[in-house]
Amino acid sequence: MATEDARYRLSSQYRLWSFSPAKLRDLREKTNALVRPHITARLAELKPTEPAPEFLTAEEETVLLRFFTTELIRAAIHCDLPTEIRATAAVFLKRFYVTNSLMTYPPMDLIKTCLFFGGKAEGYFAKLSKLAEKLSDTTEEKILAGEFLLCQGIRFAFDVRHPFRGLEGAILELRRQEDIDKPRIDAAHQQAREILKVSPLLTDAYFHYAPSQIMLAALSLADRGLAERIINSAFAPTRREEAGRNADATATEMMHPTSSEIKEKVTAAIEACRDMLATEPPERMETYWGKAESLKLIRPLLKKLRRCRDPDKADLVELQRARREWAANASKEKEAGQDRKKTNAGLALGEPIGPNEPKRRKVTGPSAADDVFGGALGQ
């Protein structure tokens, strides 16, 4: 087992946040399906006269999420946040909305939280007040309200493995080779960086590929020849294998595919990733997103989203406050209950009936609050 791969398999990105395309689609559809009955019930309670709204489908949510990711990137550029933070924040947003629906939590608020928390995760401590100032219609409270929610949503996996440093490594390796023109490498480097800043974030590349594969795909988009050189150097047949080929083939060789087989698989994976990245080239940020044609697609979806949003969770600040209040009340009630037991011991008719307790907000049950990973989706 190549140690490089084994060490990547230990990362939370691999363990928790890597899915096959089918599995990711399943998860998103499950999230979408589970959210619908809940919102329908709540809306029916609040506005009994109106018919149930038309919900976003999982595909529509994916399109919208892509739009919100561009918004996030734009906001990050506006706030002069470094590339890595921008990427981390975008990945956090995408991860969060795998198991949460856009219809449940407001994405525009979570974008800000992601930017702030992405900085924290990368060890870059942006000032909260400055960030709130730079973004329009934002208070510090608003940014912080969704922070714990976001952490739960990303399963506390704060370490995002990016392809940026890997790209530097690959370029350094290429620079050592004497027979490649320096300008060619520089041009490829520049272009690959631009691609990595946008394309993997807008597509699902982070879920489906390892960072080095994404990096090589981007490099191959920039200059296919250079990427192939790197792959060839990584999977040159080792001396041991050469020796093994001369000797008789053993059972262990059956279990471990030879380097040429792996190389083929890696090349195929990188080609697939390259195709994925090619659907969202960095130029599209300027020429498509935010322009008329994308707005034509996005606007009706946004309108739809506004109608089918979860009414309880539209305001994260309010939600946070309610939750804290509930928690405080719960502990107070516990104490009060003990007191009451003491004082009521002599009453013949038991507890006197108190004033009606205000109707509690829906299902903020202790079971959901106690589990650090949140309750099950099906509740």
Partner 1 sequence: MASQRPGAPPSPNTDICPVCKTMRYLNRDLEFLINPECYHPMCANCVARIFADGPAQCPYAGCQKTLRKKAFKAAYFGNLAVEREVDIRRRVHAVFNKEEPDFESLADYNAYLEQVEELTFNLVSGNPDQRSKAEAEMRDWEAKHKSEIEERRRQARESEAQRLAREREAKDAARRRRLDAAREDAEEKARDAREREEILDTLATGDASHARATMQKVALKKRGQHRLDAARSSLLDAASSNLSIRGLKKDKKREAVDEGPYDPFGGLDLALQRYTLGPLDGYRNDWVDAARSRSDIVVGGYSAEEYLSRAMFEAFSGMGVFIEDEKGDGELATREAAQAAAATSDTAQKMDVDVFA
Contacts (CB under 8 A) with partner 1, residues 323-352? 323
Closest separation in Å from C-beta 142 to partner 1? 17
Of 112 and 189, nearer to partner 1 (C-beta) is 189
Write a three-state SS string for the chain. Answer: CCHHHHHHHCCHHHHHHCCCHHHHHHHHHHHHHHHHHHHHHHHHHHCCCCCCCCCCCHHHHHHHHHHHHHHHHHHHHHCCCCHHHHHHHHHHHHHHHHHCCCCCCCHHHHHHHHHHHHHHHCCCCCCHHHHHHHCCCCCHHHHHHCHHHHHHHCCCCCCCCCCHHHHHHHHHHHHHCCCCCHHHHHHHHHHHHHHHHHHHHHCCHHHHCCHHHHHHHHHHHHCHHHHHHHHHHHCCCCHHHHHHHHCCCCHHHHHCCCHHHHHHHHHHHHHHHHHHHHCCCCHHHHHCCCCHHHHHHHHHHHHHHHHCCCCCCCCHHHHHHHHHHHHHHHHHHHHHHHHHHHHHHHCCCCCCCCCCCCCCCCCCCHHHHHCCCCCCCCC
> Is 220 an interacting residue with respect to partner 1 (CB under 8 A)?
no
Q: Give residues 271-300 in contact with partner 1 (rule: CB under 8 A).
A: none
Q: Give residues 238-257 in contact with partner 1 (rule: CB under 8 A).
A: 238, 255-257
Q: Give residues 107-146 in contact with partner 1 (rule: CB under 8 A).
A: none
Of 178 and 286, nearer to partner 1 (C-beta) is 178
> Is 212 an interacting residue with respect to partner 1 (CB under 8 A)?
yes
> Is 207 an interacting residue with respect to partner 1 (CB under 8 A)?
yes
> Is 23 an interacting residue with respect to partner 1 (CB under 8 A)?
yes
> Is 363 an interacting residue with respect to partner 1 (CB under 8 A)?
yes
Closest separation in Å from C-beta 35 to partner 1? 8
Closest separation in Å from C-beta 104 to partner 1? 7
Of 245 and 362, nearer to partner 1 (C-beta) is 362
When binding is defined by CB under 8 A, the residue of 28, 31, 145, 309 that contacts partner 1 is 31
Of 134 and 313, nearer to partner 1 (C-beta) is 313
* Per-residue binding letters, 65-94, with partner 1 (x by CB under 8 A): ------------------------------
Q: Give residues 153-172 in contact with partner 1 (rule: CB under 8 A).
A: 153, 155, 161, 163, 165-172
Of 1 and 247, nearer to partner 1 (C-beta) is 1
